[in-house]
Copies of this chain bind each other. A is one copy, B any other.
Amino acid sequence: MNGLTELLKGALEGIVLQHIAQGETYGYEITKYLQDLGLEDIVEGTVYTVLLRLEKQGLLEVERRKSTLGPQRKFYSLNAAGQEYLTNFWARWDFLAGKMTQLRKA
């Protein structure tokens, strides 16, 4: 999908957080998952910058563990703040999506 970048702003944090909420995971896996979902615009570098930002905001628990296949992995999971952020994110998303629908059929 072309020109998705700007639309992703603000949504991407929620997207990543939502995937982590479904079970502890790490950057490389998240990237693959989003690619498989069809969000091919979201590439590796982008995912990592989002993760670092979320981490700095204190929304994630982090643990480094060895991988069998390469360098260490940085495993992420949601903490309470992350869970709360995610709830608020979906509220914002639903709000906007509702308005968009209203606007469209106005």
Contact = CB atoms under 8 A, between A and B. Distances in A.
A15 B102 CA distance: 11
Contacts of A19: 103, 106
Contacts of A10: 5-9
Copies in the complex: 2
A18 B19 CA distance: 32
Interface residues of A, number: 33
Given A9-B9, A9-B10, A10-B9, A3 B92 contact: yes
Interface of A: 1-11, 13, 15, 18-19, 22, 37-39, 88, 90-93, 95-97, 99-100, 102-104, 106
Contact of A4 (B15, B22, B96): B96
